[in-house]
Structure 1
Amino acid sequence: MDSNLRPRRSALYLPASNAKAIAKARTLPCDVVILDLEDAVAPEMKEAAREAAVAAVNEGGFGHREVAIRTNGLDTDWGAADLAAIATANVDAVLVPKVNGPDDVTAYEGALCAAPPKVQLWTMIETCASVANLPAIAAMAGPTRLSLWIMGTNDLAKEMRAQLTPCRTPFLPFLSMSVAAARANGIAILDGVCNEFRDLPTFEAEARQGLMFGFDGKSLIHPAQIEPCNTVFSPSETELAWARAVIEAFALPENAGKGAIKVEGKMAELLHLEQAQRLVAVAERIAAS
Structure 2
Amino acid sequence: MHTIRSALFMPASNARAIEKARGLACDAVILDLEDAVAPEAKASARAQALQAAADGGFGGRTLALRVNALDSEWGIADCEAARDAGFDAIVLPKVSNPDDLSAARALLGDVPLWAMIETCAAMLALPTIAATRGLECLIAGTNDLAKDMRCTPGADRLPLLPHLTAIVTAARAHGLIALDGVSNVLAETPELAAECAQGAAFGFDGKTLIHPAQIALANRAFAPSAERVAWAKAVIAAFAQPENADKGAIRVNGAMVERLHLSEAERIVTLAR
Contact 2:188 2:213 in 1 (8 A): no
Matching residue's letter, 1:137: I
Shift of 1:199: 5.6
Give distance in 1, aligned partners of 2:108 and 2:23: 29
1:247 has 2:243 as partner: no
* TM-score (normalised: structure 1): 0.93
Match of 1:74 in 2: 70
Cα distance in 1 for residues equivalent to 2:86 and 2:96? 27
* Structure 2 equivalent of residue 132 of structure 1: 124
Give the conservation status (yes or no) of the 8 Å contact 1:99–1:123: yes
Match of 1:188 among 177, 183, 203: 177
Residues 1:89 and 2:85 aligned together: yes
Question: Corresponding residue for 1:15?
Answer: 11
The separation in 2 between residues aligned to 1:171 and 1:187, in whole angstroms, is 20
Unaligned runs of 5+ in 2: none
Give the match's secondary structure for 2:138. strand
Instruction: Give the match for residue 253 of structure 2.
Output: 264
Q: Residue 46 of structure 1 is aligned with which of 20, 42, 47?
A: 42
How far has the Cα of 1:198 moved from its partner? Answer: 2.8
Q: Percent identity?
A: 55
| Paired AA for residue 182 in structure 1 | A
- Aligned counterpart in structure 1 of residue 28 of structure 2, from 26, 32, 38: 32
SS of 1:123's partner is: strand
Instruction: Give me the whole-angstrom Cα distance separating, in 1, the residues matched to 2:210 and 2:119.
Output: 20
Q: Which SS does the other structure have where 2:186 is aligned?
A: coil
Q: 1:121 aligns with which of 106, 113, 116?
A: 113
Q: Whole-Å Cα distance in 2 between the matches of residues 157 and 18 of structure 1?
A: 28
Secondary structure (helix, strand or coil) at the match of 1:206 reads helix
Q: For 1:185-226, what per-residue CA distance to the aligned partner results, in whole angstroms no more than 9, with x for missing partners?
A: 111110000001136211110010001110000000110000
Q: Could you tell me how far apart the structure 1 residues matched to 2:47 and 2:68 are?
A: 14
Distance in 1 (alpha carbons) for counterparts of 2:36 and 2:9: 9
- What is the DSSP-based 3-state SS (H/G/I as helix, E as strand, rest coil) of the residue aligned with 1:29? coil
Cα distance in 2, alignment partners of residues 250 and 126 from structure 1: 43
Structure 1: runs of 5 or more not aligned: 285-289
1:126-184 Cα offsets, whole Å, 9 max, x none, are 001001111111111xxx21110111010011111111311001101100011111111
Superposed CA deviations along residues 64-123 of structure 1, whole A, max 9, x for unmatched, are: 10000000011011001100111010110000111111111111111112xxx4x31101
Amino acid at match of 2:64: A
SS at match of 2:103: helix
SS of residue paired to 1:186? coil
